Amino acid sequence: MAEVIRFFIFDLHMERHYMNGGNKEKKKSQNAQNQGILLVFLGLCGVLFAFVGEALIDMVFEGGTFFQVFLSPSPQKMAIRALFSGTLILFILYIASIWRKRDLLENSLQEALEVACIEKNKSEAILEVIGDAISIQDLKLNILYQNRAHLDLMGNHLGEACYSAYQKRETACGDCHLLQSYEDGLPHRRESAALVRDEIIHVEIISTPLCDSSGKIVAGIESVRNITKRKETEQSILTLNEVLRQKTQELSALNHDLKAFSYSLSHDLKTPLTIIYGSSQVLHDIYSSQLDETGVYLLEQIIVAGERMDQLLDAMLQMAHHAQREMKLETINLSLMTNEIVATQRANAPNRSIHYVIADKIICQGDPHLIRSVLENLLGNAWKYTRNTQDPVIEFGRQVRDGVECCFVRDNGAGFDMEKADQLFRPFHRLHTQEEFEGNGVGLTTAQQIIHRHGGRIWAEGKKREGATFYFSL
């Protein structure tokens, strides 16, 4: 049989305040046993004293020795003794029952006090760990209780009226939420400002009535949460929104200027350039025989420069178009789109032998027209820069870099110097000469612009004469 472990809790004065269940039951049993023994002893003593007293009285008035009178009573005396003994026993039993009821009431009261103490400690523990500053106030708004958070936030104001402690007023606030809870019996919430330690703080206050067992409102609970930081954050957000609104207006103005610039490119610059280029071409075709070698060379330089200028204007117009185009997000099969672009490359250069490696089922969300422009640019660069490579390979796939899933286009072509990687996406800036590889220097800038509009990032890694890899995330 398992042994019951019994323990006590003592305070600093060695007074016992708590015992576990086993000891309490043992104490109750011992108390009941001791009380029973005491009652029996008192009863026997009472009977003995009564009989002795009676014998002494009879000995004085009737004569005879004490033992004769005590040990040989008459039948009437025996009846009186029996009646007396029975009455005494009944009296003792009655006293015992009263004693027993008293013990039961005392034990019930002690248990109720212990339960109340436990519940009180539990409630206080909950109020301490809940995080909010909580106080209890009576119907006159006097502060009866403050948890630790409330003491830290508002200071110790036990016994003071809340309106005097927090608002420095002589009467209750006209819109007091706790008084409203007392009137309608419902919780109320509001935000307010309070002066605490010579500093204004913003608080969120929730009040609720506290009722007794009959439902009568006897006090109120007030929960106070410091929202000063939240208010500061909200104000910062409002300020940032205003700055954002101003920036949006500025951006709108810049977009308007960009549209005007695009119109200027397409009309004011494109038209004169077309005239210059066309006239130079006609001059070369008709009058080149009448010019010497220097004249023909200069005329050809004008034509080549005109062609490059025309291509550059087209690229700038395309970049401006991508920047202004409204995005329409859809589910895109990048693998299928890459295969379509590769098919076009093979049709345009059937004599080139390039090994393509394209991963299957790469799906993303984006604008199909804009994303196609990015892939055409990256795959076009890979196709261009592998022109002088033996056994060229172009790969499209997906991998995780720095915890972010991204797509990539890799080739084993001319590559680039990583020290100049930050120059790749600058408009009109090229790492190779026009004689090495043709281009206008806006393709990667356009690709970066599109990726940024999708909330992504694009970057490149490479090594000179060993190829390059362009990564982008959406």
Q: How far apart are CA 334 and CA 203, in angstroms?
A: 53
- Average confidence score pLDDT of the chain: 79
Q: Where are the domains of the chain?
A: 8-127, 130-226, 238-304, 328-473
Cα dihedral sign for 81, 87, 92, 96? positive
Reading the block at residue 295, the tokens are 């004249």
The confidence score (pLDDT) of residue 357 equals 95
Number of neighbours of residue 266 by Cβ within 10 angstroms: 15
Q: What's the pLDDT tens digit per position in 71-81?
A: 666 676 667 66
294 burial class (0-12, 13-18, 19+ CB within 10 angstroms)? exposed
Q: How far apart are CA 89 and CA 94, in angstroms?
A: 8
DSSP 347-405: HH-TT---EEEE-S--EEEE-HHHHHHHHHHHHHHHHHHTTT-SS-EEEEEEEEETTEE
Q: What's the pLDDT tens digit per position in 166-176?
A: 778 888 887 78
Answer whether 458's CB lies under 8 Å from 451's CB: yes
The confidence score (pLDDT) of residue 147 equals 86
Instruction: Please give the single-letter amino acid code of residue 284.
Output: H
Q: Quote the percentage of the chain above a pLDDT of 70.
A: 75
- Read off the pLDDT band of 424 (50, 70, 90): confident
Reading the block at residue 339, the tokens are 């295969």
Under CATH, which architecture does the 328-473 domain have? Answer: 2-Layer Sandwich (3.30)
Q: How far apart are CA 309 and CA 222, in angstroms?
A: 75
The confidence score (pLDDT) of residue 435 equals 65
Q: What's the pLDDT tens digit per position in 90-108?
A: 777 777 788 788 888 888 8
At 28, is the secondary structure helix, strand, or coil? helix
Reading the block at residue 362, the tokens are 């790469």
Q: Greater confidence, 10 or 132?
A: 132
Residues in a beta bridge with 332: 364
Q: How far apart are CA 458 and CA 474, in angstroms?
A: 9
| Residue range 130-226 in CATH 3.40.50.800 | no
Q: What's the pLDDT tens digit per position in 196-230?
A: 667 778 888 888 998 888 889 999 988 888 888 88
Question: Helix 443-453 to helix 368-385 angle, to the nearest 10 degrees?
Answer: 150
Reading the block at residue 334, the tokens are 């990048």
Answer whether 468's CB lies under 8 Å from 408's CB: no
Cα–Cα nearest to 415, from 357, 460, 353, 358:
460
- Whose tokens are 């209890």? That residue is 136
Report the run of H or E that residue 211 belongs to, with start and end.
Answer: strand 199-211
**Mean pLDDT value across residues 344-369:** 92
pLDDT at 311 over 60: yes
